[in-house]
């Protein structure tokens, strides 16, 4: 089995959704200046980089990130080619959903843009409400996307988040899927267990037995760097 790291690296100046706290790493002690060890203070938002949206992000009384069923986050998944015309993935864009698929990751044109230039772009591709309804009715437990938000709705009502989270569908945002071929994988996804957290950064890794899953064997080393 080959590991394909699809998580965003975290560093000072990394992309953040507008209005979210920036990631800041502050040195506390350094061997180079005479301290016995290196130690840093980290500051970042609960939805920084690759992260999970639990129901409590939008649903009062919903499950917080530390109470999520890890079985819903880990296991067989499908990566779908969801490159859409325009900014919205519609129900038609999804095509035929794989029978029994409970974890769906959507690779859009966002991933290729992240690979070219690692900074936030406002015209990212997101999920439409009709597609969210279809995924929820299909029995999907987790939906992932290569954008810092799955939502492109401009009304401020966040219909896609509500549709998914109110039905107990966890959202995984901020994936890097450039070069990852559509198909079957095993997903390992572990968020920070922030008690009562409305979200948390996560390390997301795809495991594949196929050498065609990604064009090179050094997928991790090809991730965007500061």
Q: How far apart are CA 23 and CA 41, in angstroms?
A: 11
What percent of the residues of the chain are helix, what percent strand, and what percent coil, each to the nearest 5?
20, 25, 55
Q: Which of 78, 132, 85, 129 is nearest to 106 (CA)?
A: 78
Which residue do the tokens 């974890």 mark?
103
Among 51, 57, 138, 162, which one carries the catalytic annotation?
A: 57
DSSP structure string for 17-72: -TTSPPPEEEEEE-GGGT-SS-EEEEE--TT-SSEEE-GGGTSTTPPPGGGS-HHH
Answer for the pair 175, 148: CB distance below 8 angstroms, yes or no: no
Are 150 and 197 contacting, i.e. CB atoms less than 8 angstroms apart? Answer: no
- Annotated active-site residue 162? The verdict is no
Q: Would you name the residues annotated as active-site residues?
A: 57
């Amino acid at each position: 089995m080959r590991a394909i790291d699809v998580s965003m690296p975290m560093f000072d100046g990394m992309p953040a959704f507008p209005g979210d706290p920036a990631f800041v790493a502050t040195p506390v002690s350094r061997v180079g200046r005479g301290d016995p060890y290196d130690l840093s203070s980290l500051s970042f938002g609960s939805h920084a980089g690759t992260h999970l949206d639990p129901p409590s992000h939008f649903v009062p009384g919903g499950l917080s990130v530390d109470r999520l069923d890890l079985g819903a986050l880990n296991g067989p998944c499908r990566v779908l080619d969801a490159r859409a015309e325009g900014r919205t993935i519609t129900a038609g864009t999804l095509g035929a959903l794989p029978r029994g698929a409970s974890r769906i990751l959507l690779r859009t044109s966002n991933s290729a843009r992240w690979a070219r230039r690692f900074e936030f772009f406002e015209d990212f591709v997101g999920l439409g409400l009709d597609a969210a309804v279809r995924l929820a009715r299909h029995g999907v437990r987790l939906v992932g996307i290569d954008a810092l938000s799955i939502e492109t709705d401009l009304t401020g009502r966040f219909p896609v988040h509500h549709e998914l989270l109110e039905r107990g569908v966890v959202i995984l945002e901020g994936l890097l899927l450039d070069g990852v071929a559509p198909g079957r994988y095993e997903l390992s996804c572990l968020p920070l267990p922030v008690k009562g957290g409305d979200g948390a950064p996560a390390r997301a890794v795809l495991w594949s037995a196929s050498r065609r899953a990604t064009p090179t064997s050094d997928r991790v080393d090809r991730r965007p760097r500061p």
